[in-house]
Amino acid sequence: MESREGKGLIRISIIGNWSSLQSGQVKHYTLKGFTLIEVTVILVFIGIILMLTIPRVQTGIVTDDLKASTRKMIGLIRGLKDEAVREHKTCFLHFDLESDRYWTDSTVMSEEERARAAENAFALPAGVHVLDVWFRDKGKQMVGQTVIRFSEKGYIQPSVIHLGSEDDRVFTLELSPFLGKVKIYEEYIEFEDF
């Protein structure tokens, strides 16, 4: 607070704002803000909303078995292609379409190792199924066992895998023969469309 004699002016500073007042005048300042109670109530309210919504979001994202199976299948396909090129061997991805199981083997494995790989096949989660596997040269395979070949030169047998769930959602995985890429479609695409 400053004061000047003779003119009766008083200069007041409130958090950086300077005002001039004639002596005898009173000016009221209202500071706007939130009280501690208001801030606490808002934080509790936000906490309750987050507690109710985050488990539902996590359930939808983390435990979606069809999406998780699709991601796992894509990783397996990329890994098999890389392994075949890196180790100069032909690899195979086998599907048992009736039991929704799959496994891998290669030409450098013995018959005993191949049999063990088939016994230790991965099972898809309950509610997720391999609907069919389509091959450009053989057509659509819907029953029994089928196999996709990965050559040591990086070539993948042209094929399409259809994965479906019990809630009628379907993913189509198109295996690119030369690029080794997998295109994903969130719908069932017929083999004639490729």
Query: Using one digit for the tens of pLDDT, what is the confidence trace for 113-140?
Result: 999 999 999 999 988 999 999 988 888 9
Q: Tokens representing 90?
A: 């032909």
- 135-162: pLDDT as tens digits: 888 889 999 999 999 999 888 988 999 9
- 153 and 94 within one domain: yes
- 75 and 115 within one domain: yes
- 109 and 145 within one domain: yes
pLDDT for residue 63: 62
Query: 141 pairs with which residues across the strands?
Result: 133
- 1-53: pLDDT as tens digits: 444 444 555 555 555 454 555 555 555 556 677 788 989 999 999 988 888 87
- 71 and 142 within one domain: yes
Number of structural domains (the chain) is 2
Residue 48 within any structural domain of the chain: yes
| pTM for the model | 0.66
Average of pLDDT values for 57-63?
Answer: 55
* Cα separations in angstroms, 43 against 48, 52, 119: 9, 14, 54
Distance CA 131, CA 172 (A): 10
Mean pLDDT, the chain, as a whole number?
82
Residue 102 has pLDDT above 90, yes or no: yes
Q: Which domain holds residue 177?
A: 66-193
Burial class (CB in 10 A: 0-12, 13-18, 19+), 117: middle
